[in-house]
Amino acid sequence: MYIRQLFAQKPCVFSIEVFPPKQTSSFESLQQGLRQMKALNPDFISVTYGAGGSAGGVSTCQVATFLKNELGVEPLAHLICMGSDKEKMTASLDELFAAGIQNVLALRGDRSPYRAPSADFPHASDLAAFIRGQYGSFGISGACYPEGHAEAESLAADIRNLRIKQEAGVSHLATQLFFDNAKFYRFVNMARKEGIDLPISAGVMPIVRKSQIERTVALSSASLPSEFTRMISRYQDDEASLFEAGIDYAVRQLRDLIEGGADGVHLYAMNSPQVAARVYEGIRDLLPGRA
């Protein structure tokens, strides 16, 4: 099933993002977690690119294949331009195609001293155009940024570049994580005015562990509403309370997004079936056909 079709069928599409483990020995534990996530009936599960492949870990394709062929859950396989070229990308796409994967998320990838920028694909839109030209059968998703991409000169300029992504063949967008829904609504309004009519999944990450505050929150350029910073300063040294408060914040954020008309909600669950299940329990009455 193409992801675009899911949006045509449902008022709000529910998806989860996972990442492949760095160690092959951890694949079994991820598989167990994915079996538990399947019970939450996600419309699709996206699988990041970066940890596996050349690093010797589990690859994106392996996780996507497990989802599709063992669990019968629709996967969205991430692909990045960085460090790749037409030949390597063709090999990756051939592998995904042979495994029956129908949906890919075309990304540029973050700049890194360990990965050369791609001469063949300077932007995600170049990759999307390549995939559409070579493999008409893949549904292509793309990334977007409610507060603007860090390298863009402004949010308006970043949204203008999204038009290029849409014209290159992307048929669905998923956002970077954010904590302030007002930023998302403003972004969607601006994108619609710019002629971007693709379904947009709103990305939400529950902050339930101190390590996430140190890594994700500190590194993300997402604005932090005062309610969020109060929660962090109050509970950061109390593991159990932070978990509960982080789930509660994410559930309230997601309920507002669903009621506010988001096309889809995308849960950055950090491979935790417990987090995914707790959040799902808090929003399932608002998701179609699940009450």
Q: Which residues bind ligand FAD (CB under 6 A)?
A: 48-50, 78, 80, 107-110, 123-125, 143, 149, 151-152, 158, 161, 164-165, 174, 176, 203
Report DSSP state, residue 273: H
Minimum CB distance to ligand FAD smaller for 181 or for 235: 181
Nearest approach, Cβ of residue 179 and ligand FAD (Å) = 15
At residue 142, φ and ψ (nearest 5 deg) are -145, 170
Q: Please state, in angstroms and rounded to a whole number, the distance separating the CA atoms of residues 205 and 215.
A: 13
Q: Which one from 17, 153, 194, 227 is the annotated catalytic residue?
A: 17
Minimum distance from residue 165 beta carbon to ligand FAD (Å) = 6
Nearer to ligand FAD, 48 or 59 (CB): 48
Work out how close the CB of 78 gets to ligand FAD at its nearest, in angstroms, rounded to a whole number. 4
Instruction: State which residue, 155 or 245, has the beta carbon closest to ligand FAD.
Output: 155
Cβ nearer to ligand FAD, comparing 49 with 187: 49
- Give the angle subtended at the CA of 212 by the CAs of 207 and 216, to the nearest 5°: 100
Pair 76, 46: CB distance under 8 Å: yes
CB atoms within 10 A of CB 219: 8
> Known catalytic residue: 194?
no
- Specify which residues 204 forms β-bridges with: 267
Residue 192 main-chain phi, psi, to 5 deg: -65, -40
Let me know the angle formed at the C-alpha of 224 by 219 and 227, rounded to the nearest 5 degrees.
140
Nearer to ligand FAD, 145 or 243 (CB): 145
Contact (Cβ atoms closer than 8 angstroms) between residue 204 and residue 177 = yes
Compare residues 145 and 228 and give the one whose CB is closer to ligand FAD.
145
Q: Nearest to residue 37, comparing CAs of 284, 287, 208, 269?
A: 269
Instruction: Give me the least distance between CB of 177 and ligand FAD, in Å please.
Output: 8
Whole-angstrom CA distances from 210 to 108, 201, 221, 280 are: 29, 26, 18, 22
Write the CB contacts of 228 (distance below 8 Å, at least 6 apart in sequence): 179, 180, 249
Instruction: Using the CB atoms, write b or e for 172-199: b if 16+ within 10 Å.
Output: bbbbbbbbbbebbbebbebbeeeebebb
Nearest approach in angstroms of CB 240 to ligand FAD is 30
Residues marked as catalytic: 17
